[in-house]
Amino acid sequence: MSLDNCRVVLVRPKIAANLGATARVMRNFGLSKLVLVAPVANPADVEARRLSTHGEEILRSARIVAYLGEALADCVFVVGTSARTGGAYRRQSVAAPEEVLPRLVEFLASGPTALVFGTEPSGLTDEEVTRCHYLAHVPTDDAYPALNLAQAVAICTYELRRAWLHRAQLEMHVEAPAAFVEQERMFAHLQTALEEIHFLYGEKAGPLVHALRHLIGRAGPTQMEVDVLSGLARQIQWYVRKHGSDLK
């Protein structure tokens, strides 16, 4: 799962400095693919290059296309951005970046994804919004809600990286469940121990065993957890041998 599978798409950007600042912040947060849709600003402009510190290669290799559809043609998941909310096109599937971008991270392993930003004066059109699965809205102050383009890119790519790192850390610490044969050995051991302390007896024994197997099996116990439960069973049996008369 790589952030390389997420591209930043700028639609009709007009200010060269924003191109450079976007390339720089992409480098900060580990993204490398920049797509410009019908740009007014020239990515080779001296101001763009000046503000792209350490992001020059991102700027040089930016792909230029005529329409948003070309930028998104192979994408499996698209998040647009909007300062405006509500209305027929913008009231659904809109949330803050920290809520939306973890959803994008879930699709990184499936194929290309995209973060889409509109032009500086007016943002994405309603037609362009319909091309996006979700909208990210930064909850700015109502008195002045319009963010600079590069600032919006910085906020969203920061939240994207946070979500990506969080998921990577979770996956790193996920252990595989113990082998079926090991789980079966543990269940048999545990059943015997629970029978010895009369937890399992009579007609209720079968349903209780099933409930325990379902409860533990659903958790997908790791080998360490299976060993702990087997150790618990051994300790129960040891206690029965030492103090069996107390249980009668």
Give CA–CA dist 212/191, Å, rounded. 9
Domain coordinates in residue numbering, the chain:
3-173, 180-247
- Residue predicted with more confidence, 147 or 1: 147
pLDDT of 126 higher than 60 = yes
- Alpha carbon 96 to its chain's center: 14
Other beta carbons within 10 angstroms of residue 73's beta carbon come to 10
Asked if residue 230 lies in contact with residue 185, where contact means CB atoms within 8 angstroms, the answer is yes
Q: What is the pLDDT of residues 172-185, one digit of tens each?
A: 766 788 888 899 99
Give CA–CA dist 233/239, Å, rounded. 10
Class of domain 3-173: alpha beta
Give CA–CA dist 196/188, Å, rounded. 13
Query: Can you tell me the mean pLDDT for 18-28?
Result: 97
Mean confidence (pLDDT) of the chain: 90
Does domain 180-247 bear CATH number 1.10.8?
yes
- Residue predicted with more confidence, 170 or 167: 167
pLDDT value of residue 20: 97
- What pTM was computed for the model? 0.72
